[in-house]
Structure 1
Amino acid sequence: MNFIIKLLRKLSNKPKRLNPEIYQLVAEGSREALIIYVTYCNMHHQEKFDYKLYHKGLLASVEQGNFDSLYEIGYFHANGLMEFPQDYKQAINYFLKAAEQNHSSAMNYLALFHYKGLGVEADKQKMRAWYEKSASLGNADALSNLGNIYTEGLGVELDYVKAKDYFLMAAEKGNANAMNNLSYLYSQGLGVEKDEALADEWLEKAHNTKAEQPVKLGIMNS
């Protein structure tokens, strides 16, 4: 990854075409080359993005057993991005394969799909099970979503103390939504002693964190 960062820094100062070797590596499924190619095209818009090449590279990467590429294809199918057709069942297939390799973000998405009933029947118990698996691997979004489950009583008894614990774990990992929710709990005295100062502190942290983070998709964090 350090190699990628160093190379991208060089590319940012040289808006020329990529070395032909990069295109070959993309086609062969190199994760590093895929990252470089996408980032370069985003930085230099005169470089026309070749979706067929990118799709070929992602599929080759999947064949090599790369679970990040499995997750990405699932994500693109889930959201209809990068010229992948929106197909929830296809997304689930890829997320399941990635989840088998302990990809926590894929697990988080599987939970979201079971919550919304996308490509599967809505099932709150399976939703919680996937969030718990993802959270056990330290996924901040899943931790925050478990907090949401306990504040909303989604298949569980309302429990603001448990919610606070999950939000706190997620907030410590930099999750802005969890920080917002902690602010609300402290402002209302739910599961904690009411504390306006702490509520304001968490709200400010959330605001500062959101300024540094991309917007996330979905009702729950994905």
Structure 2
Amino acid sequence: MIREDAIWADLIQDTPLMDLEPENVEELTRRVRAGQTEAMVQLGRYYHDSGTNAGRAVRLMERAADGRNDEAMDVLGDWAFGEREYSEAVAWYTRSAALGNVRAKVKLAQFFMGGQGIRKNRRRAKSLFTEAAQAGSVPAMERLALYYYRGDFGKEPDYKEASFWFHQLLSREAAVVAPYMAEIYATGGYGVEADRHLASTYYEMSAATGKAEDLYDFAQFLMTGTGREKEKAFRLLQQAAEKHYTPAMLALCDAYRFGDGTARDRLEFVRWAKAAALAGDETGLEYLHQAFYLYHDVDLRPYCNAAALAELKAAGNGPSLYVLGKLAYTEFGASQGLCEDDAFSYWFQAAKMGYGPAEMDLGFILSEKNPKAQAKQAFAYIRDAAEQGEVRAMYPLAVHVVC
């Protein structure tokens, strides 16, 4: 697949330098005199690539172009592109594409997408890409797949069209295409129904490369399942983490602290947090510093959806209010309009009901916001939480007593 930093790399002709023997040059010269445009293109490329006569190279190519040789027009477009003469390149590609040159169609379409040397026209670009792809152009198929996937042809993605063109590329570029197909079927929408089985198939195809990123993506997908899927996800995370991939290390931390696909294990949680921290990951460092508290913290992932949020609000009991307060500090909570003041309010209500974890966090907030004015109240909340068996409140309470 194409990369953003190499959008033109596979389009401009990169035929090996023409290296002709003297007798071959003489033969081509004879054919040029006979008016054969193919010979003009070959000899022109030789003079250009060898650097022996750039002026003659251009004259030969232009003469071939005047003879309606579409390859010559395409090459002249490439040469103009190399000199950053984009308007001239567009002109040559336009003439070549009009004669049916597939390579020129793809390059002209790319110009219409980017607006270099020509006004942007993504509808025209899509049409040219499609014509070229239907003629078998792999670069055209790649661009159609990627641009439909990203929504570059319209206001939103078109997964139906993207999956069609990705599928055409699958036999050629399975390892690269599979992650896109996996995500399309994992999420669904934009013209495609979500299909967990197909998504799993493509994720597995991608993970077969053994790349840490692909192993991690497959694991994250399987972690949304249950039972054996989570166990498999855990094994994949181990493989990715052993390849020094820090997102996998952090995911292993979560697996060990929440018991996802494995038994809960505080020492393993700390080990992988330390590994991520030593790799320079800030979240790993935070996990390591807050290991005791995080390991005993509530798992918020099951609640990060609108339905669960509504159920929490409807329940209105201590545990539900406590989780609502925790969600206020997450990206999901922020997307639902929750803020830090909401957290305080929810925990205050839960604390009035005598819910230990809420009393503990409320005590921490009060001590951080106004340590002097709220010291007694903060201490009281933390003490009450500890007396109810909240282990995370016991350590700071002990430190407070000792000091």
TM-score over 0.5 for the pair: yes
* Structure 2 counterpart of 1:17, from 73, 81, 87: 87
Partner of 2:206: 134
Aligned residues, how many? Answer: 194
* Structure 1 counterpart of 2:103, from 30, 33, 36: 30
Partner of 1:198: 275
Distance 1:35 1:145 in 2: 33
Structure-2 change in CA distance of 1:41 and 1:164 (3 Å): same
1:74 aligned partner, one-letter code: A
* Structure 2 counterpart of 1:181, from 247, 259, 264: 247
Distance 2:13 2:241 in 1: 32
2:281 aligned partner, one-letter code: L
Partner of 1:213: none
2:235 aligned partner, one-letter code: V
Shift of 1:52: 4.6
1:157 aligned partner, one-letter code: K
Distance 1:104 1:14 in 2: 34
Q: Deviations over 1:6-39 (max 9, x none)?
A: 999x8587465232223345663318x7458737
Structure-2 change in CA distance of 1:56 and 1:139 (3 Å): farther
Alignment of 1:18-167 (within 5 A): 18-19=88-89, 20-25=91-96, 28-30=101-103, 34=106, 38=110, 42=114, 47-83=118-154, 86-118=157-189, 119-137=191-209, 142-153=214-225, 156-158=229-231, 159-166=233-240
| 1:62–1:69 contact (8 Å) kept in structure 2 | yes
Distance 1:140 1:82 in 2: 32
Larger relative contact order, structure 1 or 2 (CA cutoff 8 Å, min sep 6): 1
1:94 aligned partner, one-letter code: W
SS at match of 1:199: helix
Shift of 1:130: 0.9
1:134 aligned partner, one-letter code: S
Structure-2 change in CA distance of 1:81 and 1:156 (3 Å): same
1:198 aligned partner, one-letter code: A
1:124 aligned partner, one-letter code: R
Distance 2:174 2:95 in 1: 27
Structure-2 change in CA distance of 1:139 and 1:65 (3 Å): farther
Distance 1:46 1:152 in 2: 47
Unaligned runs of 5+ in 1: 172-178, 205-222
Q: Deviations over 1:44-92 (max 9, x none)?
A: 7564234354224312321232344324323323332134874332222
Shift of 1:137: 4.9
Distance 2:11 2:247 in 1: 38
4+ long deviations beyond 6 Å = 5-8
Distance 2:181 2:11 in 1: 32
Shift of 1:156: 0.9
Query: Percent same amino acid among aligned pairs?
Result: 14
Q: Deviations over 1:122-150 (max 9, x none)?
A: 33222111111233356775433113134
TM-score (norm 2): 0.38
Shift of 1:157: 2.5
2:102 aligned partner, one-letter code: G
SS at match of 1:17: helix
Distance 1:34 1:76 in 2: 13
Partner of 1:219: none
| 2:141–2:168 contact (8 Å) kept in structure 1 | yes
2:275 aligned partner, one-letter code: L
| 1:131–1:146 contact (8 Å) kept in structure 2 | yes
Distance 1:34 1:85 in 2: 23
SS at match of 1:157: helix
Shift of 1:195: 4.3
SS at match of 2:229: coil
Shift of 1:2: 8.3
| 1:75–1:91 contact (8 Å) kept in structure 2 | yes
2:247 aligned partner, one-letter code: N
1:203 aligned partner, one-letter code: D
